[in-house]
A = this chain, B = another copy of it.
Amino acid sequence: MVNEMESKISAAEWEVMRVVWAQDKVTSKEIIDVLQQKKDWKPATTKTFIGRLVKKGILHTEEEGRKFLYSSAVNESDFINSTLDETFEHICNKDVGNAIVNLLSNATLSFKDIDKIEKVIEMKKKEAVEEIPCNCVPGQCRCNNCSSGH
């Protein structure tokens, strides 16, 4: 898993990371070109983000002559998962299911995806509960309104 600490990257930095993840090792020029296309960023802008990612330790550098080859210190899937987990920390456990249902509704899925999902659901069935315990602090969720004796 990605260390939660080092995974703090901004939306703009994420764009840079996607280019790196797509290639394992890239030069700044490649990143700059892709993002000039996609985001219309000036080379200087992209350079700033690259620099910040290196400073944060999320990009590794390997000297190749006088320039660098950049590579990611974190795995993309891990990063995606921990980003999503972070979002779910703002949500009551009771609402997680609905959020996922919504994601599923909006997603384009392959047969393979559906297989995998069905498998997880089979497992989840075994540990499913009647009522999910609310994990919110009193005052941040209706579930706790009464039990918290306010």
Binding site for B on A (CB under 8 A): 11, 14-15, 18-19, 22-23, 30, 33-34, 37-38, 77, 80-81, 83-85, 87-88, 90-91, 93, 95-114, 116-118, 120-121, 124-125, 127-132, 136-142, 144-145
Q: How many copies does the complex hold?
A: 2
Question: By the criterion CB–CB under 8 Å, are B139 and A34 in contact?
Answer: yes
Known contacts A22-B145, A87-B83, A139-B37; A108 and B120 CB within 8 A of each other: no
Residue pair B136, A110 in contact (C-beta under 8 Å): no
Min CB–CB distance A59 → chain B (angstroms): 15
Selected contact of A120 from candidates B90, B91, B104, CB within 8 Å: B104
* Of B117, B129, B132, the contact of A97 (CB 8 Å cutoff): B117
Whether A34 lies near B138 (C-beta < 8 A) is: yes
User: Residues of B contacting A113 with CB < 8 Å?
Assistant: 96-98, 100-101, 128, 132
On whether the beta carbons of B81 and A99 are closer than 8 Å, the reply is yes
Which of B11, B30, B117 makes the CB contact (< 8 A) with A139? B30
Chain B residues whose CB sits within 8 angstroms of the CB of A93 once the complex forms: 108
